[in-house]
Amino acid sequence: MDSSNSNEIVHDFPPFFRIYKNGKVERITADTETVPPSIDPLTGVQTKDTVVSQENSLSVRLFIPKITDPTQKLPLLIYIHGGAFCIESPFSSLYHNYLADLVHNANVIAVSVQYRRAPEHPLPAAYDDSWAAIQWVASHVNGEGSESWLNGHADFDRTFLAGDSAGANIAHNMVVRAGTTNGLNGVKIVGVVLVHPFFCNNEPDTFSPVIEFIFPSVRIYDDPRINPAGAGGAELASLGCARVLIFVAGKDRLRDRGVRYYEALKRSGWGGLVEIVETEGEDHVFHLLNPNCAKARVMMEKVVSFINHGR
């Protein structure tokens, strides 16, 4: 077999991934350091991994704070990581550390979803996997699921979704799906947190080539999953939650899209409460890259307050 040009690059989408002629996929920008499940000696937060679907290699990382009352019920957070649908995972140090910090501060149980990533698994695989993970979580409502932490301690009447960047896009779509189906009986999604959400505009831009490549079955500018504020934002009125918290960053190229989403949601006729918070002078997902800076801590406090509102 002639392998002389097997290292030839046939698709190149910096800073995300490139594909070689031999089929190899190289992820260019990613946190390759993974963190095993553990117990944090300082906070008592425990983590463990479990497989949701062997068929789709769908798994989750669960987080639980230190439990002092064995009968205690805690809010439930389902988190969907970012990374342009193609990089990162719940097991990277960025996301593990962020979720462990949030679980400790908010005193919640968290489920962090490892969906199949593009380009090996084009969209809508990430949407389908995330919905499957949420349905798996819902299977614990009657205390008869496979995970004891969810059976014993999750308050399914206080369920929240959250995500950053592409994960915020997925979280939005999951709340839309929850609002238009009956697939989550017994689970009440109170709110969703969208951090620096990734959405497309009505016209091509610098992000278009990679999204068109990983979502080849649709015209992305017209698809409400990618451009929810387009075409009048009709699906926004169907959000299956009562509250939405949106974060945007002043230097982020996606800033205006988050603002556009916020404005479209307010016009949509949806009956809930939406708030947008802008962090001046910061760029995309700065809170993950510099979690101890003052502005990141303000964001953390805002999310904690959002989850524990009225608790």
Span 125-183, pLDDT tens digits: 999 999 999 999 999 999 999 999 999 999 999 999 999 999 999 999 999 999 998 76
**Tens of pLDDT, residues 134-143:** 999 999 999 9
The pLDDT, as a whole number, for residue 31 is 59
Active site residues: 165, 252, 284
- Mean of pLDDT values over 261-279: 97
- Mean of pLDDT values over 196-215: 91
**Tens of pLDDT, residues 52-103:** 998 888 999 999 999 999 899 999 999 999 999 999 999 999 999 999 999 9
- Mean of pLDDT values over 43-51: 97
pLDDT band at 1 (very low <50, low <70, confident <90, very high): very low
User: DSSP string spanning 33-90?
Assistant: -B----B-TTT--EEEEEEEETTTTEEEEEEEPPPS-TT--EEEEEEE--STTTS--T
The candidate with the shortest Cα–Cα distance to 240, out of 164, 169, 174, 158, is 174
* Phi then psi dihedrals of residue 256, to 5 deg: -65, -25
- Mean of pLDDT values over 233-257: 95
The candidate with the shortest Cα–Cα distance to 113, out of 188, 50, 35, 28, is 50
Asked whether the whole model's pTM tops 0.75, one would answer yes
Say whether pLDDT at 269 is over 90: yes
Q: Cα separations (Å) of 62 from 137, 212, 260, 284?
A: 11, 32, 33, 26
Contact of 260 with 227, CB cutoff 8 Å: no
- Which segment of 16-20, 31-35, 167-171, 201-205 scores lowest on mean pLDDT? 31-35
Please give the distance of CA 200 from its chain centroid, rounded to a whole number: 17
The pLDDT, as a whole number, for residue 6 is 74
Q: Cα separations (Å) of 144 from 17, 76, 113, 154?
A: 41, 17, 21, 12
Residue 277 and residue 272: Cα distance in Å, rounded? 17
- Mean of pLDDT values over 199-206: 88
Burial of 229 (0-12, 13-18, 19+ CB in 10 A): buried
- Mean of pLDDT values over 48-54: 95
pLDDT band at 36 (very low <50, low <70, confident <90, very high): very high
pLDDT band at 14 (very low <50, low <70, confident <90, very high): very high
Say whether pLDDT at 3 is over 60: no
Helix (H) or strand (E) holding 96: helix 93-106
The pLDDT, as a whole number, for residue 311 is 65
The pLDDT, as a whole number, for residue 285 is 98
pLDDT over 90, % of the chain? 85
